[in-house]
Structure 1
Amino acid sequence: MPAITWNTHWARPAIDPLFRSAARAYGSEVIGVILTGGLNDGTAGLYEIEQRGGTTVVQDPDDAVSPSMPRSALHHVAVDHCLPLAQIPTLLAGLVAKRDAGALLAQPRPAPARRRGQEMTAEYKLDQPVAVTCPDCGGALRRTELGTLTQFRCHIGHVYTAEVLVAAQFAALEESLEAAMRSLSERGELCRQMADKAQAAGNASTAMQWDAAMREAKERTVVLRQLLEKEWTHPTDREALEASEG
């Protein structure tokens, strides 16, 4: 099964990436089960399972201590089975037995064509930002025009001219890169210590793995250092002003 990246979702751990990964890897062989729980975690993942021909099972909300998750799943997904918790183990055993006997769990459903941006993924992208954010608080900034002067204001009151915002964002960028470089450097040192410990214990194979992780961290630190040391393009005040007025 592909690596499950769950830290991009509010819930910890998140059911949606787990279900998504399982659906992509195993298709119609997957059985997704939603039990008692708050809010709607798992609904999007259960939809992925349903779309790829898997079997969907939801606890009866009237039987759940916290019915929010089951109700959300029933509202948004064409669920195959909805029943009390006490009956779910018997159902699952029966479904698995049928699969092992060669029977289909459900009619295969071809995955629908997806438009760009529909994927519930955790991969990094470079799509156009929805909004420019405040360097101080991270809130979305609203652009306003004050005569010929362009300003950006967040909803709690931070205000920047376009030129000041560019400078503040660049300072925040450098700070983030420096923090990433520090973390990578510390990872390299920790991996070195682990390699030494494994070597002293006679675990040569483990020591080699830690050593490889150390070298990897150092190599990636070099990339960040190069970014920090490179000259960046900083338009003149006149050029920046003209751009902000465009």
Structure 2
Amino acid sequence: MALRPRDVVVVGASAGGVEALRSMVAGLPQDLAAAVLVVLHLPPSGTSALASILARAGPLPVTNAQDGGRLTRGHVHVARPGHHLLVVDDQIALSRGPTENGHRPAINALFRSAAVAHGAAVTGVLLSGVLDDGVAGLRAIAAQGGTVVVQEPTDALYSAMPQHALAVLTPDHVLPATGIGEVLGKITESTVENELSASELLRWENTIAGGKQPYREVEHVGAPSEFSCPDCDGVLADIDGGRWYRCRVGHAWSADALLAAQGSALDRALWTALRTLEERTALSTRMAEQAYERGSLTIAARYREQANETIEAATVIRRQLGLGGAK
């Protein structure tokens, strides 16, 4: 089997990731024999200054990724807001495929695509962030024989992503962000036997991220769960033993991210309920006062009772929201 260089590096970061990326890029050698692709979770609209920030931080040229552009050794390609950054053969693809864990660009989508396209020649790097974003993608890289690098959790501003990676994987390297660039230089000087053998499931998920998959096939991959998709309210299918879910239209969620999204939905529902109860209290009180002014004491008492009931209900919700009792 022919040897090939480890010439593709994919990097994922979320909260606290700019600082970690700057430290990593600063340590990259000027003659790095690999293309570097970076996903930082970004708001879906607007522009990103990440490329210019990283260009000032280290010796390599850094640009925003271009759809159809070629992977260039010694070059850092940065994901654009609102688009998955994917690797297709030796080219870059930008996709508007379904969000993963509520994100586009998504770390898992980049890592998975690189694992499918370049197998063991890929090095995956996971930096600071919350929840478990990127862990599923690192698992895909490891399954293909690629190299896994994780930021030391105590070095990360947000340690959850590195900690989750360490809980399910045995990385090849765990080190502070300042040391990752030098290690990547050494990794990319080596070669590896590389036989592409991605699983059918991995290829299927990669196709979804590219926005080309007939999503109706999700029920053939996993059993319907009892959970709904936070993005579209569709039924989620369990496609990885309770660790990874997808809905019919392709949105993907890890168990941790799904739990967090459910918490956000509950919080929004509680605030909506509180607003409705506050408005109902105000209206009942006003109608009670108007009835009293007309001399309709029985009707006034009924409206006052309704106002008291809604005040009690609002008090319960305010406490649930951590707001204490009634105003």
TM range (shorter): 0.3 to 0.5
Greater share of residues in helix: 1
Instruction: Name the structure with the higher strand share.
Output: 2
Between the two structures, name the one with larger relative contact order (CA 8 Å, sep ≥ 6).
Answer: 2
